[in-house]
Amino acid sequence: MIITRRSFIVTGLAASLTSRASAHQTAEDWVMPEEFLPRPVRFAEEQFPGTIIVDPDYFALYFALTPTRGMQYSVGIGRGNLYESGFFTVGAKKEWPSWRPTDDMIARDPDHYGKWADGMPGGPDNPLGARAIYLFDEAGNDTFLRIHGTPEPWTIGSAVSNGCVRLANADIEALYEQVELGAPIYLLPRLES
């Protein structure tokens, strides 16, 4: 089933969330604004339970709990043309995952990413945060796209990543426990530039 933006209308969808700068330097002192907290939603059209749908224009991730009800989480998305829409499946899940920047990331910013060319172990400072859900394509190949946590929760509600979808660590921990391997994931296309 292909989901279009017109067929995917959520009751009570929050107004468009805007990016915001933050002087906060650590996750420990950050208080998530109320509009970014998870909330229950009702779907106008039935969804397959376990499905994840990301709407980049609203910085929202929806997880279908039943055909008509789900949870909405606020997310950060890929900046510029790094956001990639499409249909994927959950190919792997990892707690406190290790991370290695892609070759493209290193080529774009070697001063920042080059030092991690051999990888970074999992932990509180790791860019993938507390949990990661790995997106695979229809052929079963790892796309190197992730839905993951972040040690920078103030980036939720903005387009700053290298293509992945990020959630606050507490939110990815809750989502991670419910998502099953093989679950469908739809990253809707961006309408706004």
Give Cβ neighbours of residue 51 (< 8 Å, ≥ 6 apart): 63, 64, 183, 184, 185, 186
**Domain of 43: which CATH number?**
2.40.440.10
Provide mean pLDDT across the span 103-132.
Answer: 92
What confidence category does residue 27 fall into, taking pLDDT thresholds of 50, 70 and 90?
A: low
Q: Is residue 10 part of a domain?
A: no
DSSP 72-97: EEE-BEE-GGG---EEEEEEEEEES-
Strands of the chain, DSSP E: 10-11, 39-43, 52-55, 60-64, 69-74, 77-78, 86-95, 131-136, 142-148, 159-161, 165-166, 184-187
Q: Is residue 89 part of a domain?
A: yes
Catalytic residue selected from 38, 76, 122, 148: 148
pLDDT at 7: 45
**Chain segment 120-133, per-residue pLDDT in tens:** 899 998 999 999 99
pLDDT at 142: 96
pLDDT at 31: 87
Give Cβ neighbours of residue 160 (< 8 Å, ≥ 6 apart): 19, 76, 79
Share of the chain above pLDDT 70, in %: 85
Q: Is residue 23 part of a domain?
A: no
Q: Say how many domains are in the chain.
A: 1
Q: Is residue 192 part of a domain?
A: no
Catalytic residue selected from 75, 164, 167, 168: 164
Domain that holds residue 102: 34-187
Which of the pair, 27 or 188, is modelled with greater confidence? 188
Which of the pair, 186 or 17, is modelled with greater confidence? 186
- The position carrying tokens 């679950």 is 183
Mean of per-residue pLDDT scores for the chain:
87
8 as an active site residue: the answer is no
pLDDT at 192: 67
Q: Is residue 58 part of a domain?
A: yes
148 as an active site residue: the answer is yes
Q: Is residue 109 part of a domain?
A: yes
Q: Is residue 29 part of a domain?
A: no
pLDDT at 14: 36
147, 172 contact by CB (below 8 A): yes
Which of the pair, 62 or 120, is modelled with greater confidence? 62
Q: Is residue 193 part of a domain?
A: no
